[in-house]
Structures are given as structure tokens and as C-alpha cells.
Amino acid sequence: MAYEIRIRGHKEPIIVEENAERLRSDWENYQVNKKDAVVEVDGWVGRLSLINDFQRVKTTSAENTSNSHEEYLADRKKILDMSLEDRAKRMGYFRLVYKGFTGKNSEDVLINGIPIEKLIETEQLKFFTANPKAINCDALVFRKYIKSDKCNRFAFGPIEQITRQEFFARNNL
């Protein structure tokens, strides 16, 4: 079971799955007896007294899963209905890949005085022309513009998921 923890001084909550029940129990005990302790939560180390709120994260039901698949198909159709040029201008996936491998934002990067996103737009247009059923460009197309072969572990999961999902959809839908 996962919990969302709001910590004083943090804008975004932390989602905790591992040892969440024990941590919740410790926090509830602190609420009663005010005996503070140092805890570690997904890379954050602090006192129980800094935790403002502890809420269970809602799990998705089979109905929600079905709805999300239908939403994906509707979004996919909407993107496929775009012109190839408009599809090529979509930079979200490239920005995720670029940030994941370089740790930098791609919006300000120039290559020989040309914005990298303009070069990527050209590459994506070629890719979408050759692969009209695709909604995301293959990340391998970006390879010549990214000089790193090490991916941030937080970006790798979504990149891998998008790549698998796109490969399946392009060949089966």
C-alpha cells in the first residue's frame, strides 16, 4: 500500500510504498506521545515532526484501467489526426529523453548556432513520414544529438515504457 506524505518545506508530496505502514504507525505514535524521531523516506531524512500529512494513495481499479486505455486510444487518434508537421513539432518526448541523458533542458541548446529542437523537428518529420502510425519518434533518432550514454534512473522508466508502448501500438493498432 502506498502513502502520500506532505513534508513541511517541500512543495511536492513524497510517495512511499516500502515500509509505509511502519512509517505511518511511527507518525501516528508521534501524534499521540510527541516523541520525535529521525526517519528516512525515499532519500529524505528528517524528523517525524516535519511530516504534515499522511494519506493513502488511491489504487486504480479495473474500471479505471479500462478508462485509461480508452483515453490512451483517444489521445493516440487525436495525435495521428494531426498533420505530420504538427506531430514533428511536439517536443515533450525529446525533452524527456534529452533531460534524462544529459541532465539539461534542451530548450536553450544550440548546435552550430541552430536550436537543437529545430534540428529535432526536422528529424521527427523524416521519422513520421516513414512511420505514419507513430505518435512518438524513436529515441534512437535523437542519439546523434545526445552525447551521453548514461540515463538518469528516474527518466529511464518512462522512456522505456513509452518506447515499448509506441512499438506495440505502431505494429498492432
Given a cut of 90, whether residue 160 has pLDDT beyond it is no
Q: What angle do CA 13, 99, 14 make, to 5 degrees?
A: 10
Give the tens place of pLDDT for each residue, 81-133.
999 999 999 999 999 999 888 888 999 899 999 999 999 999 999 999 999 99
Task: Please list the residues that pair with 8 across neighbouring strands.
Answer: none
Of the pLDDT bands very low, low, confident and very high (cuts 50, 70, 90), residue 62 is low
Of the pLDDT bands very low, low, confident and very high (cuts 50, 70, 90), residue 65 is low
Distance separating alpha carbons of residues 117 and 113, to the nearest angstrom: 12
Task: Please list the residues that pair with 14 across neighbouring strands.
Answer: 5
Q: Are 95 and 53 in contact (CB under 8 A)?
A: no
Distance separating alpha carbons of residues 126 and 88, to the nearest angstrom: 9
Q: List all residues 6 or more positions away from 122 whose beta carbon is below 8 Å from its beta carbon.
A: 88
Q: List all residues 6 or more positions away from 124 whose beta carbon is below 8 Å from its beta carbon.
A: 87, 88, 90, 94, 137, 141
Read off the pLDDT of each residue in 62-86 and give the average, rounded to a whole number. Answer: 82
pLDDT recorded at residue 68: 78
What mean pLDDT value characterizes the chain?
Answer: 85
Listed by start position, the domains of the chain span: 3-56, 82-172
Q: Are 16 and 2 in contact (CB under 8 A)?
A: yes
Given a cut of 60, whether residue 61 has pLDDT beyond it is no
The pTM of the full predicted model, rounded to 2 decimals, is 0.59
Three-state secondary structure call for residue 134: coil
Write out the three cell numbers for 29: 505514535
Q: Are 44 and 50 in contact (CB under 8 A)?
A: no
Given a cut of 60, whether residue 64 has pLDDT beyond it is no
pLDDT recorded at residue 9: 84
